[in-house]
Amino acid sequence: MNKSSERLYNLLPAIYRIRDVNKGEPLRAILSVIETELQAIEKDIGDLYSNWFIETCDEWVVAYIGDLLGVRNLHPISSGNFSLRPYVANTLAYRRRKGTATVLEQLARDVTGWPARALEFFQLLSVTSHFNHVTLARGQTLNLRDSKNLELLNSPFECAAYTADVRHISSNRGKYNIPNIGIFLWRLQSYTVTRGTAHAVSEPADGRYTFNPLGLDAPLFNQPHTETEITHLAEDINVPGVLRRRPLYDELEARRQALVDNQMPRSLYFDEQPVLELFINGQRDPIPSEQILICDLSDLPSGMGWQRPPPTKKYIHINTDGTGDERLLPIKAAVDPKLGRLAFRMGDIPGQVEASYAYGFSGDIGGGPYNRSESISRTLTRPVTWQVGVSSELTPLPDIIFATLAEAVDAWNAQAPGITGVIAILDSHTYAEELTGGRSIKIPEDSQLIIVAADWPEVDDPDLPGRKKRIIGQLEPEGLRPHLLGNLSVEGTAIDETPGELVLDGLLVEGKLTVLPGNLGKLRVAHCTLASDHSGLVVEEVSGTQDQHKQNSQLSICIDRCICGPITLPGTVLELHIVDSIVDNIDGVAITAPGANTDIQMSTIFGSSNMRSLEASNSIFTGIVSVGLRQLGCMRFSYVPDNSQTPRRYYCQPDLALNGVISPTEQDNTRDRLAPSFMSVRYGDPAYAQLSQACALEILTGAEDGSEMGAFNNLKQPQREANLRASLDEYMRFGLEAGIFYVT
């Protein structure tokens, strides 16, 4: 029996326990039941104690503590990754420093959850200084030789001088005036990739690579440094912005000069956690930061490729007598953070290149290194009976760790039916493999296979002090984004009424996912990206010569928080669920599901769609939608273009805005105004599928709960902005006016 449930029994005198043993331990059994209830009461008392404090209380208690402090006029936000706990916790600190820029900045950060910068625009006004009050830090005439500050123009960190702007800042038109305070917000998040495989631009490799494993030019992002004091105004290093060439170049130049001068270099971007690291030929340690040259790696004219780094760079060491010595320091690689490119010399091309860096995106959608524990816990509904790992970095172990995904799939295909298996990919490397034909994934009856980007947790090894060991079987689905280069095929081999299930979670797939003719019960693709010109999901149709029992007639497909290419299903597939996802085939057909009852929630569909029936809510369809059974289903709080054939619509745009508009000209103008506009529709851009601020308010706040339509509905951005506007007045000095500006 568990000793933790025997506290009461152990309090009894030994004589009673001896007599209890002689009688079959009935007293021990009843005290065990009482002990269970005692533990429940103790837990409840402990929770009540924790709920006295804002740092440890349950989420539902935050609003009540806020009421005690007089926190008012805030909208509750249902997003699971956002809490008003910091705002309530810092309320007293705000009130002590009411009216200062640092408080407004911290307030914006706590209320919205976005990094913020407060800027008092009167400090940028062009004024004549008084001799008794000289302010050298005030704005000044632009120095055209100062490229570092020229880059910062119209940013929250600029230091130029302006004449007064009389327009109101609340309309986001005027900025530079005495009463104006600017609140700048960064909505894009920074996601860190650790030792991801760099993409070679050409085959064979010629020394040119992109950080993005798909070969896209995508800017690198800063990994923000945490501010420890509420009195500190955010700097460039504290926000998740795009890395600029100039400050990185200047820091590495100063670092090399400091090494020449035998001084300790000053580190900001390249400290103990540098913003980027390069690893070559599988080496454990990265290339030293001082051997990286920051430069512009744009395409040279006439198709001559990119610039290449020099083998060395010259620096002058000043001796004590005033003379100087030339020192040559080695340069190993060139990096362009703006384009996300890196280059090596033609004569020094490494065999393997890995990089640690950060990229930007709006939210936790698609294959990414963010925490997916909740998704995995929903998937693991039954005990795991078989698990292996895949890593090209760790030493292979028989039947435990494989070097390739194909070997792990072969091991799975050899298992008996009726088991739950997990293939955990333990790193962020690229796996160039074709899992098709004889190496396709087989899912037998009553079986479940989960292919997931997750590590096995490391703990201290008691047998080897100072060393760590992995706990095989447990999963940590965070910090990894493996890249699968190749097509994946899956075949359900069940012959009875209990077909199996395949789950993909946390993967970046550069290829097509194909369901072969067979009998597969469920396909769940969660937190994945199926991205390339030939990507997407296809369920192959059974030809006339094939067994009609291989029509996948029981197949249910779920796309959850994914970025996916076109989805093509035959008429035999009856269920398709798309949630919090982006389906992209903007110039063609995004969804073809003539036999599927389709459910689309909080998603953005780039391209036209056709399906058997449709239930849709809080979604955006940029192309024509054609539904076969229009008497079934409903579309709610969504945007759907004119000429679409859909079931009945409820609070959909542009229908709602066109109500009562009679003039054809006004109708056309209304349709044009309501057409969704995006910051970018190119996959790979940080602001991909993010609604533009120029988008119609009916789209930005058109969802059922007042948030935006589309894939980023769960971010609740309108509610965050509304909460900030409602709370600013309480903490601003009389006569001041605030404007909110989105940097990203």
Span 704-739, pLDDT tens digits: 999 999 999 999 999 999 999 988 888 888 888 999
Range 678-689 average pLDDT: 94
The per-residue pLDDT for 458 is 76
Range 162-183 average pLDDT: 88
User: What confidence tens digit (pLDDT) does each residue in 437-449 have?
Assistant: 889 999 999 999 9
- Lowest average pLDDT, out of 173-177, 211-215, 602-606, 623-627, goes to 173-177
CA angle 703, 709, 711 (to 5 degrees): 130
Contact (Cβ atoms closer than 8 angstroms) between residue 359 and residue 289? no
Whether pLDDT at 198 is above 90: yes
CA–CA gap between residue 626 and residue 647 (Å, rounded): 9
Whether pLDDT at 126 is above 90: no
Q: How far apart are the first and last CA of the chain?
A: 58
- The owner of tokens 């506009």 is 677
The per-residue pLDDT for 692 is 94
User: What confidence tens digit (pLDDT) does each residue in 564-578 have?
Assistant: 999 999 999 999 999
Whether pLDDT at 23 is above 90: no
The per-residue pLDDT for 148 is 82
Burial (CB < 10 A; 0-12, 13-18, 19+), residue 644, is middle
Cβ–Cβ contacts within 10 Å for residue 453, how many?
Answer: 30
* Residue 352 φ then ψ, to 5°: -145, 135
Kindly report the pTM of this predicted structure: 0.89
CA–CA gap between residue 587 and residue 672 (Å, rounded): 19
- Lowest average pLDDT, out of 44-48, 151-155, 544-548, 573-577, goes to 544-548
The per-residue pLDDT for 1 is 41
Range 343-353 average pLDDT: 91
Which of the listed ranges 228-242, 298-312, 601-615 does the model predict with the highest average pLDDT?
601-615
The per-residue pLDDT for 580 is 95
pLDDT band at 134 (very low <50, low <70, confident <90, very high): confident
Which residue, among 246, 255, 248, 247, has the nearest Cα to 290 in the 3D structure?
255
Inter-CA distances, 75 with 63, 86, 716, 738, Å: 11, 15, 11, 20
Whether pLDDT at 387 is above 90: yes
Which residue, among 326, 261, 319, has the nearest Cα to 290 in the 3D structure?
261
Whether pLDDT at 543 is above 80: no
The per-residue pLDDT for 131 is 79
CA–CA gap between residue 480 and residue 356 (Å, rounded): 11
Query: Of all helices (H) and strands (E), which one includes residue 378?
Result: helix 373-379
- Lowest average pLDDT, out of 49-53, 167-171, 485-489, 620-624, goes to 167-171
Whether pLDDT at 87 is above 50: yes
pLDDT band at 2 (very low <50, low <70, confident <90, very high): very low
CA–CA gap between residue 333 and residue 740 (Å, rounded): 40
Whether pLDDT at 3 is above 60: no
Burial letters 262-293, b for 16+ CB under 10 A, else e: eeebeebbbeeebbbbbbbeeeeebbebbbbb
Q: Percent of the chain scored above 90 by pLDDT?
A: 60
Strands (E), 458-526: 458-460, 468-470, 483-485, 488-492, 501-505, 508-510, 512-515, 522-526
User: What confidence tens digit (pLDDT) does each residue in 619-641 have?
Assistant: 999 999 999 999 999 999 999 99
Whether pLDDT at 97 is above 70: yes
* Residue 15 φ then ψ, to 5°: -65, -40
User: What confidence tens digit (pLDDT) does each residue in 508-526 have?
Assistant: 999 999 999 999 999 999 9
The more confident residue out of 83 and 89 is: 89
Range 311-327 average pLDDT: 85
Mean pLDDT (the chain) is: 90
CA–CA gap between residue 417 and residue 500 (Å, rounded): 9
Contact (Cβ atoms closer than 8 angstroms) between residue 445 and residue 496? yes
Indicate the domain borders of the chain: 3-50, 59-187+720-742, 190-361, 373-658
CA angle 37, 42, 44 (to 5 degrees): 95
